[in-house]
Every structure is written in C-alpha cells, then in structure tokens.
Amino acid sequence: MPAVSAVFTLLVMNMLRVDAVYLKPGDFCIALRPTIVKTVLGSCVTITMYSARTKIGAACHALLPTCREDQGPQCSTGTCQTASRYVECIIPEMARRMQEKGMVLSELEIKLFGGADMMMESLADHQRVGSQNVLKSKMLLARLGMTIKSSDVGGAAGRKLIFDTRSGDVWIKRLIP
Ligand SMILES: [Zn+2]
C-alpha cells in the first residue's frame, strides 16, 4: 500500500535526521543534536571534543597559535571575544562551554587534526604556522589534563575532515599538496 510505505519512509528519514555544519576558518560549534561537521584544513587545526555519555560534540577551526588581540586572562579562561580564531583562546573556551553543558573534562574524547606546513623547505620551525598550531594545541590540552585520543597532524598536505557527533568518529582525507 503506497500510503503505508510513504509514512514508513518519513519515519525513517526522521530517525536519521542529522544536522550539517561547515566550519569556516575561525568558526567553532557545539553540537547538541546529531550533527555532521565538515571542514577543510591547511595549516589551521581542528580540535574535536566529544562526550559519549551526552552525545554532545564540539569542534573548532583555529588559524593561529596565539591571540592577536591579546585580551590577557580572558584568552586563557575561554572568554576572549575573538577566541575561535586562535588555538590559545578556543581550547579553554570549548572546555568551558562543555563544562557549562554539564560535562567534566575527563569524560571528553579529544582529537586533533591539521597543522600542515605548506612550505616546509624554506622556513625555520618557529615560522611554520602549522607546526606552531599543533604544538600550542598539544601544550594547552596537556595543561588542561586532556589526553589526545587520536590525531593526524603535520606534513605538507591539506585535509578534508568529517566529524560525526552521533559517534565521535572523525574521518580524514588527505588532499594532494
Ligand atoms: Zn584571546
């Protein structure tokens, strides 16, 4: 009966309903509903935070290691106005917001991606934005006692990223440099 199958299709679609978010450079999101988060990374980094208990996921797309607007203590407490562009500011902000949603930092699954260096041969370590983004991320996560469960960082290739907040899974596709 066509009427029955139409209802069934609608039900299935409803059950599979997932939001989609594309993170532009400098964006971040806290996904309270099932969400597929996508982004493309070069030297920028994405940190994902995920709680299997609440199914809440957070992800950022940070451009630079340290805050250009340097708002002092606000940067390290997650209340910097321009937080989402900088690793230094967005990690505390994501942590703070997840805590506000009732999660403790120790339950969060942390993953780190990106930080490619596009011009490896000509620059010293301290000039490579990608390397610095990765280093800063690792340092700050460690300071907050957050263990990185998996990561795919560095190299010369950009990355396409997909984060599924139904499971916390992240898929990476390396882009040809
Ligand atoms: Zn800041």
Residues 95 and 105: beta-carbon distance below 8 Å: yes
Question: 112 CA to middle of ligand 1, Å?
Answer: 20
Residues with CB under 5 A from ligand 1 (ion): 67, 71, 75, 80, 89
Question: 163 CA to middle of ligand 1, Å?
Answer: 25
Domains of the chain: 18-174 (3.30.1330.200)
Residues 63 and 90: beta-carbon distance below 8 Å: no
Residues 67 and 86: beta-carbon distance below 8 Å: yes
Segments of the chain scoring below 50 in pLDDT: 1
Question: 91 CA to middle of ligand 1, Å?
Answer: 10
- The reported pLDDT for the residue numbered 4 is 53
- The reported pLDDT for the residue numbered 1 is 47
Please state, in angstroms and rounded to a whole number, the distance separating the CA atoms of residues 50 and 108: 5
- pTM, two decimal places: 0.87
Question: 65 CA to middle of ligand 1, Å?
Answer: 10
- The reported pLDDT for the residue numbered 68 is 82
Please state, in angstroms and rounded to a whole number, the distance separating the CA atoms of residues 88 and 78: 9
- The reported pLDDT for the residue numbered 72 is 76
